[in-house]
Amino acid sequence: MTYIGVEIRRQVIERAGNCCEYCLLSQEDSTFSFQVDHVIAEKHEGETVLENLSLSCPNCNSYKGSDIGSIDRETGKLTALYNPRIQSWGDHFRLDGPVIEPLTPEGRVTVRLLRLNRSEQIEERRGLIAFGRYPCTQSK
Ligand SMILES: [Zn+2]
């Protein structure tokens, strides 16, 4: 894995508003440091450039791994994961309280593969919502 320099990491964090770009958790509300994710993994020749990096919480990043797509159950088609660099979160997902609901095939494969609605996460989000801390507000 390519080393991500301090400056590029800072830029990724700033662009994301310190939010996980998949589940919208704030890094401030996480026990663990967020990770710089290659949207298109290096094994698929994704480059270590700002245009291919996103900020991801450890949960989202570990389930995403080096995957770039999955089979959408509704269409049966190979479908790319949501790409926060070229797509807008609100076009592919919406929040129903603490639950992330997919709106598109890309949204569906992303919710399933990254397990965005595990019960622990829903509970955590419910707590954060009560404190006005979820969703994390992205600066874009
Ligand atoms: Zn996340």
- pLDDT tens across 50-79, in order? 999 999 999 999 999 999 999 999 999 999
Q: Which two tokens stand for residue 47?
A: 């480059």
Residue 123 Cα distances to 12, 90, 99, angstroms: 27, 22, 10
Q: pLDDT per residue over 86-106, tens digit each?
A: 999 999 999 999 999 999 999
Q: Do β-strands 78-80 and 69-71 pair in parallel, antiparallel, or remain unpaired? A: antiparallel
Note the Cα 116 to chain centre separation in Å.
9
Residue 139 has pLDDT above 50, yes or no: no
Please tell me the predicted confidence (pLDDT) of residue 35.
96
User: What letter represents residue 94's amino acid?
Assistant: R
Please tell me the predicted confidence (pLDDT) of residue 2.
80
Domain boundaries, the chain: 6-130
- Average model confidence (pLDDT) for the chain? 95
Residue 124 Cα distances to 27, 132, 138, angstroms: 13, 12, 19
Please tell me the predicted confidence (pLDDT) of residue 122.
97
Gap from CA of 22 to ligand 1 centroid (Å): 5
Gap from CA of 127 to ligand 1 centroid (Å): 16
Please tell me the predicted confidence (pLDDT) of residue 138.
62
Mean pLDDT, residues 96-120 taken together: 98
Gap from CA of 61 to ligand 1 centroid (Å): 7
Percent over 90 (pLDDT), the chain:
94
Gap from CA of 75 to ligand 1 centroid (Å): 25
Q: Are 22 and 84 in contact (CB under 8 A)?
A: yes
Please tell me the predicted confidence (pLDDT) of residue 60.
98
